[in-house]
Amino acid sequence: VGLDQAFVDAYFHGTATKIGGAGLDVVATEVAARHAKAYPASGVPSAHRALDIGGEYQWRREGEPHLFDPDTVFRLQHSTRARRYDIFKQYTERVNEQSERLMTLRGLFGLRSERPSIPLEEVEPVSEIVKRFSTGAMSYGSISREAHETLAIAMNQLGAKSNTGEGGEDPERLYDPQRRSAIKQVASGRFGVTSEYLVNSDDIQIKMAQGAKPGEGGQLPGHKVYPWVARTRHSTPGVGLISPPPHHDIYSIEDLAQLIHDLKNANPRAR
């Protein structure tokens, strides 16, 4: 992707290239530019000069601007720790300055001012909108008990749904309407998946594949498998856990149908 036809014909013969792009001249120019940074023409680099790390995905002071940078993260953390709503508004304003900072495609758009506003009484109230909210599936063990439980409490107070992720849920939370997660996940490792777990769900979610670690699936390193995490996952404390990339009992659409059938029999009321 992104290489022109002549380049592909010369070096990757037989490979399809649908959109064209860079040729050997561009590749050579980029390599030469990186080499010049490492070995400047002036000769021996300064003792205090560090080679540019490069990359765009991690925030760096001299790098690409990011929507979430130390300034926004500091304001979010400070506002929640100090319970300062005024600082929280500074945080949201900085994130929402899309038209000025152009961090997302949304920043290129503006609201048309000549259109009449919709009367508020015709708009669905916030109290109903939030009922469709759900959290991401973050596993107990990958995040702390406090974080996992707080997400569930918040969603339950809103009338929305939190997702257990693939790490199961503490049995003591299953029967507590304030602390339980409405969405129970069934992933390839089946950690924490029991009949009790399934019958205490509103939604059952099958995670069809696992891509957190290429080739190995999701990994929870041994030092994070605390005794209370191991108890919930029905595993051994201190021993790392791997969720395989595929489910090893799903190799056809019929296999998938069988798992759906079994889960529906475990809890006919769940979606």
Among residues of the chain, what percentage have pLDDT more than 70? 94
Residues 248 and 145 placed together within one structural domain of the fold: yes
Listed in sequence order, the residues at least 6 apart from 54 whose beta carbon sits closer than 8 Å to its beta carbon are 34
Residues 198 and 68 placed together within one structural domain of the fold: no
Q: Is residue 268 a contact partner of residue 201, using CB atoms and an 8 Å limit?
A: no
| Number of other CB atoms surrounding residue 43 within 10 Å | 6
Residues 158 and 98 placed together within one structural domain of the fold: no
* Cα of 32 vs its chain's centroid, Å: 36
Query: Does a structural domain hold residue 75?
Result: yes
Query: Does a structural domain hold residue 46?
Result: no
Query: Does a structural domain hold residue 51?
Result: no
Query: Does a structural domain hold residue 14?
Result: yes
Query: Does a structural domain hold residue 43?
Result: no
Residues 141 and 230 placed together within one structural domain of the fold: yes
Q: Is residue 178 a contact partner of residue 153, using CB atoms and an 8 Å limit?
A: yes
89 vs 248, higher pLDDT = 89
Residues 66 and 164 placed together within one structural domain of the fold: no
Residues 95 and 130 placed together within one structural domain of the fold: no
Residues 231 and 257 placed together within one structural domain of the fold: yes
- Averaged confidence pLDDT in the chain: 89
Closest to 210 measured CA to CA, from 258, 180, 245: 245
Domain span including residue 68: 61-109
Residues 133 and 250 placed together within one structural domain of the fold: yes
Q: CA-based angle 138:144:147, to the nearest 5? A: 70
Q: Which of 75, 109, 143 is the last residue of a domain?
A: 109
**What's the pLDDT band for 39 if we cut at 50, 70, 90?**
confident
pTM (2 decimals)?
0.68
Residues 211 and 153 placed together within one structural domain of the fold: yes
Query: Does a structural domain hold residue 246?
Result: yes
Phi, psi at residue 88, to the nearest 5°?
Answer: -60, -40
Query: Does a structural domain hold residue 87?
Result: yes
The interaxial angle of helices 85-96 and 70-82, nearest 10 deg, is 160
Residues 150 and 209 placed together within one structural domain of the fold: yes
Number of domains in the chain: 3
135 vs 113, higher pLDDT = 135
Residues 95 and 161 placed together within one structural domain of the fold: no
Residues 195 and 140 placed together within one structural domain of the fold: yes
Query: Does a structural domain hold residue 255?
Result: yes
**What's the pLDDT band for 49 if we cut at 50, 70, 90?**
low
Most confident region among 50-64, 160-174, 214-228 by mean pLDDT: 160-174
Q: Which of 34-38, 98-102, 141-145, 246-250 has the lowest mean pLDDT?
A: 98-102
